[in-house]
Amino acid sequence: MSLAQRDQNVIWHPYTQMKTAALPIPIVRGEGAMLYSEDGTGYVDAVSSWWVNLHGHAHPYIARKVAEQLQTLEHVIFAGFTHAPAVELAERLLQILPQGQSRMFYSDNGSTAVEVALKMAIQYWNNLGTPKKKIIAFRDSYHGDTFGAMAVSARSAFTAPFWSYLFEVEFVDVPIPGKEEETVKQLEAYASGGDVAAFIYEPLVLGTAGMVMYTPEVLNKLMQLCQQHNILSIADEVMTGFGRTGRTFATDYLQYQPDMVCLSKGLTGGTMALGATSCNEKIYEAFLHEDKSKTLFHGHSYTANPVACAASLASLDLLLQSETQDNIRRICSQHTAFAERIKQMPYIREVRQQGTILAVEFEDSTTSYFSDLRDTLYSFALDQGVILRPLGNIIYVIAPYCITNKQLDQVYQTILGMQEVVSGNRAYPRPDLTMLHD
C-alpha cells in the first residue's frame, strides 16, 4: 500500500473536502526550494509550504542548531522558568521589530499569536478601568482559525457555521488604490465613538483575501487616527514578516508604529511551529498590579519551546546575512520584470506585487476562493513541476529566498502556460477524478 493510500485511511487534511479530494502527493525529501515525492518527481515549492519556509527545505545550519538544542534541553515549563534560547530570541527580535516594542509573549502559531494580542488589547482597557471592547478589522481580512482570530476575520464560507459564536467586530473596507479616503472615513466614524479597543490589520498585503495590496501612505493615515483616538493597533505580520514585503517587516515602511505585532510562519524559517506577540511597555505595565486578577491568564503547554526558539535564532542568523538580503532584492527585481511583462496580456485581470510577493489574478466570472479555475490551475502547475496553490482565480508566488533564477523562470513559464489555459488556446482537462476518494 502506498503512503498516499495509507494516509487516506487515517488522516483528515486541512482545508480539504475529503469526499472529493485527490490522493495527497507523498513528499519524502526536501532540499532548497525543491520538494521530492515518493516516485522521485521534483516540485519547486513556490508557496514556501504555506508561506513559512524562508531559507529552503532541510537547511543544514538550522538542522544543526536544532540538533544541538535537542541534546541540551528539549522543553521546560515556561511559567516560573526560563531558558537561554527564549531570552536571546526575544532580545534579538525586539532589536529588529518596529520601534517601541519592548516585551515578547510566546505561543504556538499565527492564530494563537493573534488571540494573545486580542486578549492583551481587551484586558488592557479592563485593567485601566475603561472597558472598551469594540475591535475594528478589514472586511476581507484573515487572522487565523481559532475563535478570536475568526471573529476579526472576514465573515465567509470558512467561518459561516460559527458566526453566532463570534464576538461583534466593526469592519472597514480594504483601502485598495482609489478607495483610500473611503476607508479613512469609515475608521474615523467608528473611532469617534470612543469605545474602540483596538484596530487589527494585515499590513500592506491581505494574504488569504487574494494577496490584496494597499499603500503604506494610507496605512499611516489609519495608524495616525488610531493614535489620535487612543485606539490600540495590532499589526498581524504573521505572513508579511521576515522579508516578504522587501523589508524585514511590512511595518518598516510606516511612520506610525503599532502597539502590538503578531509573528509566526517564517519565525522559525519554516522548521516548526512557534508564535510570538510583542507589545510596547504601556501595555505591559497595565498588567503589573498587586491585584492578581489583572494577570494575563494565557499560556500554552509548549510556550517558548527551546527547540523552536533555537530554530528561530538560526533562521534570524540566515535572514540577516548579506547573501539572503541580496536574494530578497533579486527576487523582488525578478518579480517586477515579470509583472511588467505580463500585466497587459489578455485574460489577466491584474498583477500585484509587494516585495517578494507576486499575485496574478486571472479573468473569471467571479473573483472567489471557489472559482472553477482553481483546481484546473493547481493541477496544471503540478504537471509543470511547480507547487502553486491558487486562491480561486488568483495565483501567487511566495518562494523561499534561496530559489534560483532558473527555478523562478520555471514558475513564470508555468504562469504563462496558465494564461493560455484560461484563454482557451491550450486545452487542459479538469483534474483526473479516477484517484478521488470514495
Closest to 303 (Cα-Cα) out of 274, 271, 279, 332: 274
Average pLDDT, the chain: 95
Confidence at residue 278, expressed as pLDDT on a 0 to 100 scale? 98
How many Å separate Cα 94 from the centre of its chain?
Answer: 20
Quick one: CA dihedral 264, 270, 274, 279, positive or negative?
negative
Of the pLDDT bands very low, low, confident and very high (cuts 50, 70, 90), residue 430 is: low
Question: Considering the entire predicted model, what is its pTM?
Answer: 0.95
Q: What is the DSSP letter of 93?
A: H
Of the pLDDT bands very low, low, confident and very high (cuts 50, 70, 90), residue 427 is: low
Q: Is residue 433 over pLDDT 70?
A: no
The pLDDT of 218-247, averaged and rounded, is 98
What's the burial of 364, exposed, middle or buried (CB within 10 Å: 0-12/13-18/19+)? middle
Q: Tell me: the pLDDT tens digits for 70-83?
A: 999 999 999 999 99
Distance (Å, whole) CA 230 – CA 253: 22
Distance (Å, whole) CA 242 – CA 269: 9
3-state secondary structure of 263: strand
What do you get for the CA distance between the two ends of the chain, in Å?
17
Distance (Å, whole) CA 290 – CA 119: 20
The pLDDT of 236-253, averaged and rounded, is 98
**Size (the chain), residues:** 438
Residues annotated as catalytic are 15, 142, 236, 265
Residues in CB range of 229: below 8 A, 6 or more apart: 191, 192, 194, 196
The x, y and z cell numbers of residue 372, run together, are 472553477
Residues in CB range of 107: below 8 A, 6 or more apart: 113, 115, 116, 275, 276, 277, 298, 300, 303
Q: Is residue 268 over pLDDT 50?
A: yes
The x, y and z cell numbers of residue 18, run together, are 475529503
The pLDDT of 125-134, averaged and rounded, is 94
Please report, as a single letter, which amino acid is at residue 42.
G
The enclosing H or E element of 343 equals none
Distance (Å, whole) CA 407 – CA 426: 23
Q: Tell me: the pLDDT tens digits for 4-14?
A: 999 999 999 99
DSSP per residue, 277-333? EEEEHHHHHTT--SSGGGS-----TTTT-HHHHHHHHHHHHHHTSHHHHHHHHHHHH
Helices assigned H by DSSP within 131-276? 147-151, 180-191, 216-228
Confidence at residue 65, expressed as pLDDT on a 0 to 100 scale? 98
Confidence at residue 424, expressed as pLDDT on a 0 to 100 scale? 74
The pLDDT of 348-361, averaged and rounded, is 97
Q: Which single residue is written with the C-alpha cell 484573515?
A: 142
Residues in CB range of 16: below 8 A, 6 or more apart: none
Q: Tell me: the pLDDT tens digits for 394-406?
A: 999 999 999 999 9
3-state secondary structure of 199: strand
Quick one: CA dihedral 429, 364, 238, 31, positive or negative?
positive
3-state secondary structure of 378: helix
Confidence at residue 324, expressed as pLDDT on a 0 to 100 scale? 98
Distance (Å, whole) CA 265 – CA 273: 8
How many Å separate Cα 43 from the centre of its chain?
Answer: 22
Distance (Å, whole) CA 379 – CA 78: 44
User: β-strands 196-201, 232-236: how paired?
Assistant: parallel
Q: Maximum distance among all alpha carbons in the chain? A: 72
The pLDDT of 41-59, averaged and rounded, is 98
3-state secondary structure of 179: coil
Residues in CB range of 178: below 8 A, 6 or more apart: none
Distance (Å, whole) CA 257 – CA 227: 10
Segments of 110-165 assigned E as strands: 134-138
What's the burial of 271, exposed, middle or buried (CB within 10 Å: 0-12/13-18/19+)? buried
Confidence at residue 420, expressed as pLDDT on a 0 to 100 scale? 85
Distance (Å, whole) CA 344 – CA 351: 9
